[in-house]
Amino acid sequence: MQLQLRLLQKQLRLRTLKLSNTFLVVGLGNPGPNYALNRHNVGQMLLDVVAARFGETFKAHKSNALVAEVKIIGGPKLILAKPLSFMNLSGGPTSSLMSFYKLDPESLIVAHDELDIPPASFRLKQGGGHGGHNGIRDIISAIDTNDFARIRLGIGRPPGTSDAADYVLKNFSSSEKTELAVTLEIAADALEEVARNGIVAAQGKYHAPTESDTA
């Protein structure tokens, strides 16, 4: 009962967040072709899917990021950004882009890999801690708040006693790539839903919200 009450309170708070006409969507990863297909870069892979839908390509931006701007028909504009810094320095480009476009944290959505979510699935989350993710940690530090939306793309834990740090820097397996393509298309739909109607509406459409989606 207490859990249900806390979830209801959080959902009511999220519904009061204003919807923006422009969203900055940051896909986390490491720069360069050597990292492009790593599990750690799945957030940037999602942005590639979204940009391709709108026929846009990424261009260098002075905020140390690659940027593509797309407009959802009848909806808001999405500024898709892939930082050119390494993962643990994602905060600098994110903060610079927010300043350049004059956006506040309510207009920020971050897409990133998540070890604690199974492959071929994703969760939408508003606020909460960094969960040990260094990219999220640095963004929270740089913009001085944790209250922004996240698209947490599941990569699962490594098998056995394999090191997680090595695991995230390896490419997806052949079998994972097939499932990943489908997951990224659905996650791209979810991103558009978040931008159009807010994260609570998107959670209701793509998965039932739990306390971990705001913790």
Catalytic positions:
40
- End-to-end CA distance of the chain, in Å? 18
Token pair in block for residue 48: 């590639």
Q: Are 72 and 196 in contact (CB under 8 A)?
A: yes
CA angle at 110 for the pair 166 and 123, rounded to the nearest 5°: 80
Q: Are strands 122-126 and 108-114 parallel, antiparallel or unpaired?
A: unpaired
C-alpha to C-alpha distance for 75 and 72, rounded to whole angstroms:
5
Token pair in block for residue 19: 């919807």
Burial of 109 (0-12, 13-18, 19+ CB in 10 A): buried
Q: Are 80 and 91 in contact (CB under 8 A)?
A: no
